[in-house]
Amino acid sequence: MTANTDGLQKTYSNFAESLTNEKLDRFLEDAEAIMAKPAAMLLAQAGIGSTTKIPFKLLDGACGTGAVGSQLQRVVNKDVLEQSSILCGDVNQPMLDILKKRAERDAWVNTEVATVDAQDSKLADGSFTHVTISHGLHVIPNPDLVLKDTLRILRPGGTFAFSTMHQDNVAWVPDVRSAFARLPFEVSLPDPFPMASNGHLEWGDPQEIKQKLWDHGFNNVSVKVIQNDQHIESAERFTDAFMMMINWLTQTYWTQEQRENYHGTLRDHVIKHLKEKYDGRGWMLKWTMILATCQRD
């Protein structure tokens, strides 16, 4: 792992372990506001939706808290789900624990949650009709291994569908950057801020993604850029929604002394700054994302 990816994985784990039931519900609601629409569009691009009649066997790799899984339960006819098989896999155990609670609470149909490394799944050759990864290839340490393993586990004619953050995406970054700029010490955040925490910047570039998929032997490659707007109702809601990323930034770009002296008051600082910035009103975040689908011969 790169230092950034390793730190981000630790932040994911620490954040997930700290969630109470109330905070979990709010976290999932915020995640849905960002991920639900792209996940639905991704599944539609992969040929799965309300009109799907043929059962499928799908692996949702790097599944996190289940953006794809929740959309499957929402849009696919229950009769089709009852004949299908869905495996949600990730390497982050606290995230998997959250997803297990969610799947049980919402009675997801034919869905298994398990530890699966998308770089080396150890799943049987040719065993899935579909593989999905929602916003994972710009975070997973070695995306090339993911492509190799995905090609192996797909059935002939099977579909791989994934989303990543576009290299020009900004979303939450300007607000956090301006909040950090008001701190009593200098924080040097990269500008522009890289969306690929694994250092593989090609996964934010639509043309390079196409080339990667062709080079790995996929065909029927389709890569699209989409926009997704997210309404932020308050400074408090923004800070709660993105505190995990803010914590990661402090671990990555702050010194130990800065963390010891200022991290305890950081949440209040960010809220105060954003209330001043937006005059106590809500605002919109704009996300730029990439959706890609391809098939195995």
Domain spans of the chain, in order of start: 3-169+193-233+284-295
Cα–Cα distance measured from residue 291 to residue 225, given in angstroms and rounded to the nearest whole number:
6
The verdict on whether omega for the bond into residue 190 sits within 30 degrees of 0, i.e. cis, is: no
pLDDT per position as a tens digit, 76-113: 999 999 999 999 999 999 889 999 989 999 999 999 99
Farthest-apart Cα atoms in the chain, separation: 59
pLDDT per position as a tens digit, 197-238: 999 999 999 999 999 999 999 999 999 999 999 999 999 999
Range with the poorest average pLDDT among 73-82, 162-171, 238-247: 238-247
Domain 3-169+193-233+284-295 CATH class label: alpha beta
CB 228 within 8 A of CB 289: yes
CB 136 within 8 A of CB 162: yes
Please, which residues have CB within 8 angstroms of residue 99's CB and are 6 or more apart in sequence? 63, 64, 65, 66, 69, 88, 90, 113
The label of the residue with tokens 């098989």 reads 85
% of the chain surpassing 70 pLDDT: 93
Nearest in space to 59 (alpha carbons), one of 122, 104, 13: 122
CB 148 within 8 A of CB 121: no
pLDDT per position as a tens digit, 11-64: 555 555 555 567 778 888 888 889 999 999 999 999 999 999 999 999 999 999
CA dihedral 184, 185, 188, 193 (to 10 degrees): -20
Residue 1 confidence class, pLDDT cut points 50, 70, 90: very low
- Cα 227 to Cα 32, 34, 266, 290, distances in angstroms: 15, 11, 30, 9
